Chain A
Amino acid sequence: MSVSPAGLPARTVDQSSRAFRYFEQVFGVCAAEVQKLYHDPFELLTRAIQPVIWLLLFGEAMARVRGLVTGSMSYINFISAGILTQSVLFVAIFYGIAAIWERDLGVLHRYLVSPAPRSALVIGKALSAGIRGLSQALVVYILAGLLAVPISLRAVHLALMVLFIVVGAALFATFSLIVACLVKTRERFMGIGQIVTMPLFFASNAIYPLTIMPAWLRVVARLNPLTYEVDAVRALMLRGGSSDFGVGSDFTVLAVVFAVLVGVAARLYGRMGN
């Protein structure tokens, strides 16, 4: 550890471009979260139980309801895309509580005194939610395969699927972080988390199609980012699956919402340590 005679560090910062440094900071935050999962994968395993319950209990039972018009696809096919999206959402939405926990411990301060831009910190955390989301997706794929859901294994579909899961999880993790910055305590966050998650889930096309919704709910669902996530997942996951809005439009909506949320979260995250 050499320090120049002037007392200021001579070469602590590489001459590499700002963009590369930014990427490295995002990667560093995300990698640390993934290392934690590697050390203790128990949480991932318990989380895998939830989609099993939804698909096997709820899905199988609701598949017998004749009133649900899901077009040409069977209900179990329809809902597996919904359940996949839901498990990604549920993993991501409780990310805020981890942020509050880090604030209470003091770990948050090490991030905030570092020269990393707040947006790099937020994106790094959000992307690690995407990694968790991918592990959930894998569980749903296996389960759906066992239930004879016609899963598309085309490389381009799988690649786009990864993209949508990461962006979707990152979006909801960032939303969760914003809520955490606003409510500040774990107790309040738990309450708000429940209030927010269920409407997000039910006011979407995850477990029933938009066409059976009353008009007002359809409007709400069209404003819900989860609807676009489900729409793309449904098109990409199933053989012969189709999208209502177009996968390109779905991605645009999700990417724009994510960018806006990162902007808001970056502002709030910096003040969380006050």
Chain B
Amino acid sequence: MDVSRSPDTVSPAAGAGGSAVIEVRALTRRFGNFVAVDRVSFGVGRGEVFGLIGANGAGKSTVVRMLTTLLPVTSGGATIAGYDLVRNPGEVRRHIGYVPQLMSADGDLTATENLLLSARLYGIPFREIRSRIEQTLAAMDLAPFAHRLVKAFSGGMIRRLEIAQGLLHCPAILFLDEPTVGLDPAARHAVLGRLAKLRAETATTILLTSHYMEEIEELCDRVGVLREGKLVAVASPAELKARVGPAATLDDVFAALAGEEAKSPEIQAYRDVRLSRRAARSHG
């Protein structure tokens, strides 16, 4: 992590500029008759930290799952790190890292073994594997626990390991889906601290979703607000606050723009709630 972030890539209008590393065009996903994501378009500039906020069921995770190639798009598309999401998902996967809302570290393996698996899946050159794993563990403050089984880790340690897994192959873009869900304040602070450091030290572009307004404010250059599958605003946290009122907080922005929980019966809502609560329990 030796390349400093050049400040000029973080202009609020980065999405409109030529340096966009994520470009989303009218992205749409339907589950039956329910439109989970409705013609969403936005751009994220290189090195930018972009947040997606919205109520439960607003489509944040669905957007992330489409952009990470896990879920096929119904219509529309995106260009990610220069590759077309629909036509070239293999190359997209090669250039992104993903930290899902649920667990992505295997509890029955040690931290090093988890990273070794990632190294082999991503084809990291043999000679570099050991040093990369050590560096990444150190960067996430996990070096002393390299050979412990992950099931003995705390929730915050698991999250940091998962971020390490997502970063091991030096992706152009890191996707984080609710990275601090289910963590206690101290663990959240540690995770956010590592992300802030990553933001300060590398050119990695980050797209994250969150319910927590303070972490959005702390980390993000720009925020997209999703409401019932539609992107209703994209701006910097300061601009969003100014738009709502003179003394508005981001919580006020959330209340004003994001609205309430989606009432449409999304097919998998029950399963998603069950799974995310279970994930929260095992993380926390």
Residues of A within 8 A of B (CB): 1-5, 7-14, 16, 21, 24-25, 27-29, 31-32, 35-36, 39-40, 104-107, 109-117, 273-274
Contacts and interface: CB of A to CB of B under 8 A. Distances in A.
Given A110-B118, A274-B71, A2 B106 contact: no
Interface stretch (B52-60, B169-177, B231-239, B256-264): B169-177
Nearest to B94: A115
B186 interface: no
A12 B279 contact: no
B81 interface: yes
B70 A273 contact: yes
Contact of A3 (B96, B103, B106, B170): B170
Closest 3 A/B residue pairs (Cβ): A106-B102, A28-B120, A9-B170
B70 A9 contact: no
Contacts of A12: 94, 122-124, 169-171
A105 B117 contact: no
Contact of A1 (B71, B120, B136): B136
A244 to B, nearest CB: 41
Contacts of A104: 275, 278
A112 B65 CA distance: 11
B106 A109 contact: no
Interface of B: 1-3, 21, 46-47, 65, 68-72, 81-82, 90-91, 93-96, 98, 100-106, 108-110, 113, 116-126, 132, 135-136, 139, 149, 165, 167, 169-172, 202-205, 275, 278-279
A128 to B, nearest CB: 12
B102 A114 contact: no
Nearest to B45: A7
6 contacts: A1-B132, A9-B172, A29-B117, A31-B116, A36-B106, A105-B279
B102 A9 contact: no
Given A113-B93, A274-B71, A1 B170 contact: yes
B98 A7 contact: no
A36 B103 contact: no
Nearest to A271: B72
Contacts of A29: 117, 120-121
A258 to B, nearest CB: 22
Nearest to A116: B121
Contacts of A112: 69-70
Contacts of B1: 1-3
B46 A7 contact: yes
A126 to B, nearest CB: 16
Contacts of B46: 7
B167 A1 contact: yes
A109 B70 contact: yes
B203 A111 contact: no
Given A2-B1, A11-B125, A105-B102, 14 more contacts: A1-B2, A8-B172, A10-B170, A12-B170, A28-B116, A32-B109, A32-B117, A35-B109, A36-B108, A104-B275, A105-B279, A106-B100, A106-B104, A274-B70
A14, A25, A107: residue with the most chain B Cβ atoms closer than 10 Å: A107
B3 A5 contact: yes
A109 B21 CA distance: 23
Given A1-B202, A113-B98, A115-B90, A39 B103 contact: no
Given A14-B123, A111-B121, A39 B202 contact: no
Contacts of A117: 90
Contacts of B98: 109-110, 113
Contacts of A39: 108-110, 149
Given A1-B139, A1-B167, A115 B121 contact: yes
Contacts of B126: 14
Contact of A9 (B100, B110, B120, B169): B169
A2 B93 contact: no
B49 to A, nearest CB: 13
B109 A113 contact: no
A4 B139 CA distance: 18
B3 A3 contact: yes
Nearest to A11: B125
